[in-house]
Amino acid sequence: MRAIGQDTLGGPEVLKVVEIDRPEPGFSEVLVRVHAAGVNPTDWWHRATGGLLGGQPIPLGWDVSGVVEEVGLGVTMYRPGDEVFGMPRLPQPAGTYAEFITSPARHLARKPAGISHVEAAALPLAGLTAWQSLVDTADVRPGQRVLVHAAAGGVGHLAVQIAKARGAYVIGTARSPKHDFLRGVGADEVIDYTQTDFVTAARDIDVVLDTIGGEYGTRSLRTLRPGGIVVSIASPAEASLAAVAEQRGLRAGFTMVEPDNGGLKEIAALIEAGKLRVHVDTVLPLEEAGKAHEIGEAGRTTGKIVLTVA
């Protein structure tokens, strides 16, 4: 089968199409014929600096949407022909930049019928990150004030909608050209962080989703009301925020996304209810994975980038 591989760590130019053996599903696994694969910042981080597996760079890609080709022993959730989407194996390699992948059955869910494979492939990692941060960690409730940084990005624009679906008042930070887009997905207020200090513009916040890191975490603490929380997805180093927050009667910490059948089902339900839509900024064929990484690393994408495979 075709897949994207690399011989060495480096820039987007190291990515190339290779021929590798088609995998076989093991116990409790399914074989998926990949129709589309989402592209995420963790992909280009692993491409450039993410380390080696058996002396070789790891296979790239975690987001997938496709069709079940075979089921392994013990799988009762799916049958061949079922359309599925998900984020297999993270933080272990999944290798979704390929024509076929294997996945634990419960790392997937049924693809919402009303969206394409391209749209479904854009959802899992970003959607689960937003869901696990806002719902499982912060427990966003009706009437709360939620601040989302980089709100027009892959995680951000889904987080805005998830928070709105939970009944929150949502404020997003983004450059001015993206403000109309954010209002269109439900943001109640938008702050141009290049013109206005969000610390003074956003007050009495219950939940901050920090997708940027660095000084944003500490500065975001200043926007919180007593008992508020900053959830960082930017770096494990942000876990140090917890001590600072506790001294101020606040909460903070780092959360890392993980495979989640239940979360995928909740996201699918929001899609089917018309309360969540994913914005796909760029669609490229598998063989242009390097170009997809170049676009992503430029940091100006609105929504998501997706590779088409089948």
The mean pLDDT value for 62-88 works out to 98
Q: Closest Cα partner for 155 from 139, 179, 133, 138?
A: 133
Phi, psi of 39 (to 5 degrees): -115, 130
**pTM for this entry:** 0.96
- For residue 131, give every residue at least 6 positions away whose Cβ sits within 8 Å of its Cβ, in sequence order, or none: 162, 260, 263, 266, 267
Does the pLDDT at position 310 exceed 80? no
* Cα distance between residue 307 and residue 159, in whole Å: 22
Where does the pLDDT of residue 254 fall: very low under 50, low under 70, confident under 90, or very high at 90 and above?
confident
Residue 194 is predicted with a pLDDT of 94
Domains and CATH numbers, the chain: 2-123+278-308 (3.90.180.10), 125-254 (3.40.50.720)
Q: What is the mean pLDDT of the chain?
A: 95
Q: 27-31, 144-148, 213-217: which range is least confident on average?
A: 213-217
Q: Summarize pLDDT for 123-144 with one digit per residue, the tens.
A: 999 999 999 999 999 999 999 9
> 67-71, 232-236, 246-250 — which one is most confidently predicted on average?
67-71
Strands of the 224-232 sheet, one edge to the other: 189-191, 169-173, 145-148, 205-210, 224-232, 251-254
**pLDDT above 70: percentage of residues in the chain:** 99
